[in-house]
Amino acid sequence: MSTTTAPIPIDVNATEHVPMSRLAAVEFRKALDTRAGRWFAASIVALVLVVLTIYALATAATEKNYEDFISIAGFVLGYFIPILIIMLVTSESSQRNGLVTFALEPRRSRIIIAKLLAGLLLAACVMVLAALMAVIATLFGSLTGGTPEWGVDGNLLFNGFVLANLIGVLVGFAIATLLMNTAAAIVVYFVYTFILPTAVGILSALSEGFEKVAPWIDFNTAQLPLFEGDYIPNGEEWAQLAVTGTIWLIIPLFLGIQRLLRIEFK
């Protein structure tokens, strides 16, 4: 073997890097091109529709305003959008296609950004659909005896709907990157959103001191002001959001991304 021959270079100057728009578009497609992904997304939308219909039939005529419907839709979405993100991220390792993804774009940070963009776009699409369904539900509500108000409090729309779901996307992303396993990530996500608040609730009921501390250490409790009252957290509540957000979101997200940048995809 002649190791003395001059290396024969490949000219890569004429080749452009894969643009972020293309990476994000591919990741968006990957979220919906499997049966699991497509059905899960469709189920979320269907579930929102079912919940809104039941609400329209069951509630008092005075509470059938557009605002009521959209906040319910936002609440339901908040639980399920993170799972879509979890599936999108963890499939790279659970389904092992990371081998191909990262061979086609070895700069992993770009795939991470693309996935986050795709996740946000996906969440935005689902939210728009939910907002439209809330319109239909409000019309339906007026048929069943309501006199709906169509006005929406901008704070509700931004904090209770957009911001809360944005947090959901990031939470899903953080858990997914930390665990890189679909089943484990979904389980942990449910513990995080259902069991943790219950535990906090029990502890708060048992101890008065804990009740005061809870919003400072539990992210779910700290998020409540986004959905309640005038939908504007006051100064202290923003601070609680920032503190718990750092503990439960920023730090896991940071560690998760570090992990995703380093792990060997097998």
Partner 1 sequence: MITVEGLTKAYGGFKAVNDISFVAQPGRVTGFLGPNGAGKTTTMRVMVGLTPATHGRATIGGHLYHDIPNPGRHVGVLLDASAQHAGRTGREILTIGAKTMGLPETRVDEMLHLVSLSDTEAKRRLRNYSLGMKQRLGIAHALLGDPSVLILDEPANGLDPAGIRWMRTLLKGYADRGGTVFLSSHLLNEVELIADEMILIGMGTIVAQGDKKSLLAMDTNVSSLVMSLDNARLTEALQQKGHTVAAEGEGLRVNCAPEDVGRVALEAQVVLVDLRSGAAGLEDLFLELTSESQRDELPEGATA
Task: Kindly state whether residue 95 participates in binding partner 1, applying the rule CB under 8 A.
Answer: yes
Residue ranges of E strands in 20-127: none
Task: Kindly state whether residue 100 participates in binding partner 1, applying the rule CB under 8 A.
Answer: yes
Task: Kindly state whether residue 208 participates in binding partner 1, applying the rule CB under 8 A.
Answer: no
| Token digits of residue 55 | 């609400």
Task: Kindly state whether residue 212 participates in binding partner 1, applying the rule CB under 8 A.
Answer: no
Out of 190, 210, 227, 265, the residue judged to bind partner 1 by CB under 8 A: 265
Residues between 35 and 54 with contacts to partner 1, criterion CB under 8 A: 35-37
Of 187, 165, 21, the C-alpha closest to 82 is: 165
CB of 22 to partner 1, least distance (A): 6
CA 259 from chain centre, in angstroms, equals 20
Kindly give the residue spans of alpha helices, DSSP state H, lying in 144-195: 154-155, 164-179, 182-190
Contact segment (CB under 8 A) with partner 1 among 23-31, 131-139, 156-164, 199-207 equals 23-31
Binding residues for partner 1, total number by CB under 8 A: 39
| Token digits of residue 127 | 């939210």
User: Which one, 3 or 58, has the nearer CB to partner 1?
Assistant: 3
CB of 124 to partner 1, least distance (A): 21
Q: Which residues contact 78 (CB under 8 A, 6 or more apart)?
A: 164, 165, 168
Task: Kindly state whether residue 96 participates in binding partner 1, applying the rule CB under 8 A.
Answer: yes
Out of 58, 60, 103, 143, the residue judged to bind partner 1 by CB under 8 A: 103
Amino acid in the structure at residue 17: H
Q: Can you tell me the distance from the alpha carbon of 227 to that of 218, in angstroms, rounded to the nearest whole number?
A: 16
Q: Which residues contact 188 (CB under 8 A, 6 or more apart)?
A: 175, 179
Q: Can you tell me the distance from the alpha carbon of 197 to that of 177, in angstroms, rounded to the nearest whole number?
A: 23
Contact segment (CB under 8 A) with partner 1 among 15-23, 74-82, 145-153, 238-246 equals 15-23
Out of 40, 75, 79, 102, the residue judged to bind partner 1 by CB under 8 A: 102
Out of 60, 154, 235, 264, the residue judged to bind partner 1 by CB under 8 A: 264
Q: Are 184 and 175 in contact (CB under 8 A)?
A: no
What are the residues binding partner 1 (CB under 8 A)? 1-3, 5, 7-10, 12, 15-18, 22-23, 25-26, 29-30, 33-37, 91, 95-100, 102-107, 264-265
